[in-house]
Amino acid sequence: MSGRGRAAPAGLVASGLLLAAAAAVIAVVAVQFLSMYEPDTVVIRSEVTRQALLSDYHSPLADTMGDTEVYFLEGSEPGGTALLLGGVHPNEPAGMLAAVLALENSTVQAGRLIIIPFGNSSAYTHNTAGHGSPQGFTLETPWGERHFRYGDRLTNPIHQYPDPEVHIHHPSGSLGSGQEARNLNRNFPGRANGTLTEQIAFAIQQIIHEEDVDVMLDMHEARPMNPIVNAVVAHEDAADIAAIAVIDLEFLDDIGMRLEITPQLFQGVSQRELGDHTDVLAVLSETPNIAMDFVHAQINEELVLRGRDEYLLRATSRPGLVYVDYDHEYGMPIEDRVGRHLATFTRLLDAYNDFYPDSPVRLEGIPEYTGLINEGLGPYLLDPAEGGTR
């Protein structure tokens, strides 16, 4: 008898190779999946005088994926308090990036500024099923790269399941599709003992109550084929300051933003519910994100950041389909969108200070629209190696 072992059958070898390949694919996918649970880096400067969490205002959020950071910048002079809210919908990156740039660049002279960059932390941990969205995007800076996640509009179903057949808004009782139960901007003012999404909304409301917030801007993006795009949407109590802000944007900054007053019966959105249930002057801003629309090619980093798509260009030839002026060569770049949010916030505070001179919120250092357009976002993103990070 020969001392050699018998060779394994070809079928077993093939099966082993397939199992090894499957294991490798699973490992890669697992790493990508878990990467969305890694928080985005923000640089904490000395101007940040206090850090808190949503759970400090609503303790049941502690140790859940609904908890997120809240940053305070306080001036040397007394004044009012402003809230800048980003990331309510994590597939709308311009609002989050505007909040991060404000956090890393602004200095408060009078009053206080509260910044929540990642409003729905859970929604940053997944993508919309079947859409093929990127899990993140990278911005070039003078010192290297900064990476940010590109999440979903809705709370991760792993963290809130199942969706009801019909979403019943609290407290109005208005009805919506079941998945809207995971849409933070359909669940304000929230509920202390409600779903995870309702509790996130409730915690944000509690910040406004407990910190006596005077004025707020909630920053979003919308489909170019949605009439509410490149718009400032205000609660009626904030209509005066919003109107002045829109006029100043047009005539002082050459930035066109439409003014909308939020409908009385549009329940669950931040400007309606927080304006109704607190004393804050509540305003929302919308910029265009082609990746959210129904007419586009593959959703990738280029589409998210540059906003240039041949299919949207075709749609512009049909009157009434697209609600923004679309220049295909220029696109809808992230610099323009972030700049619109920050310019809106700046002009909104200017108008607020004119109306309420006894409780001003005065800032400096907010990146200006023209600077962002000419230089990009990179020069305004700080190097994590040179400062404290979260």
Tell me 284's DSSP state.
E
User: How many angstroms separate the CA atoms of 203 and 59, rounded?
Assistant: 9
Contact 91, 98 (CB under 8 A): no
pLDDT of residue 129: 83
Residue 86 has pLDDT above 60, yes or no: yes
Distance of CA 272 to the CA centre of its chain: 18
Give the number of residues written for the chain: 390
User: How many angstroms separate the CA atoms of 82 and 238, rounded?
Assistant: 13
DSSP 132-149: ---SEEEEEETTEEEEEE
Which residues, at least 6 apart from 9, have a Cβ–Cβ distance to it below 8 Å?
A: none
Task: With cut-offs at 50, 70 and 90, classify the pLDDT of residue 8.
Answer: low
In angstroms, the Cα distances linking 143 to 111, 136, 140, 383 are: 33, 20, 8, 7
What does the pLDDT look like over 239-269, one tens digit per residue? 999 999 999 999 999 999 999 999 999 999 9
Task: With cut-offs at 50, 70 and 90, classify the pLDDT of residue 24.
Answer: low
User: How many angstroms separate the CA atoms of 181 and 162, rounded?
Assistant: 10
What does the pLDDT look like over 29-72, one tens digit per residue? 555 667 899 999 999 999 999 999 999 999 999 999 999 999 99
pLDDT of residue 188: 98
Residue 2 has pLDDT above 50, yes or no: no
Under CATH, which architecture does the 12-389 domain have? 3-Layer(aba) Sandwich (3.40)
DSSP 107-170: EEEEEEEEEES-S-TGGGG---TTS---SEEEEEETTEEEEEE---SS--TTTS-PPPSEEE-T
Residue 355 has pLDDT above 70, yes or no: yes
pLDDT of residue 9: 74
Residue 23 has pLDDT above 70, yes or no: no
Percent of the chain surpassing pLDDT 70: 93
Per domain, the residue ranges of the chain are: 12-389
Q: What is the pTM of this model?
A: 0.93
Contact 363, 107 (CB under 8 A): yes
Mean pLDDT score across all residues of the chain: 94
What does the pLDDT look like over 116-170, one tens digit per residue? 999 999 999 999 888 889 999 999 999 999 999 999 999 999 999 999 999 999 9
Q: Could you write out the three-class secondary structure of 40-78?
A: CCCEECCCEEEEEEHHHCCHHHCCCCCCCEEEEEECCEE
What does the pLDDT look like over 202-239, one tens digit per residue? 999 999 999 999 999 999 999 999 999 999 999 999 99
Across the range 318-346, mean pLDDT stands at: 96
Q: Which two tokens stand for residue 284?
A: 């929302």
Contact 222, 229 (CB under 8 A): yes
Which residues, at least 6 apart from 234, have a Cβ–Cβ distance to it below 8 Å?
A: 241, 242, 243, 259, 260, 261, 262, 271, 282, 283, 284
Across the range 286-301, mean pLDDT stands at: 95
Return the amino acid letter for 194: G
Cis peptide before 171 (omega within 30 of 0): yes
SS3 324: coil
Nearest alpha carbon to residue 65 among 32, 29, 90: 90
Angle, CA 36 vertex, CA 201 and CA 41 arms, to 5°: 80
User: How many angstroms separate the CA atoms of 105 and 378, rounded?
Assistant: 12
Which residues, at least 6 apart from 77, have a Cβ–Cβ distance to it below 8 Å?
A: 109, 110, 111, 362
Task: With cut-offs at 50, 70 and 90, classify the pLDDT of residue 1.
Answer: very low
Q: Which two tokens stand for residue 15?
A: 């099966």
Which residues, at least 6 apart from 250, have a Cβ–Cβ distance to it below 8 Å?
A: 256, 257
**E-strand spans in the chain?**
43-44, 48-53, 69-74, 77-85, 107-116, 136-141, 144-149, 166-168, 175-177, 215-222, 231-234, 258-261, 281-288, 362-364, 388-389
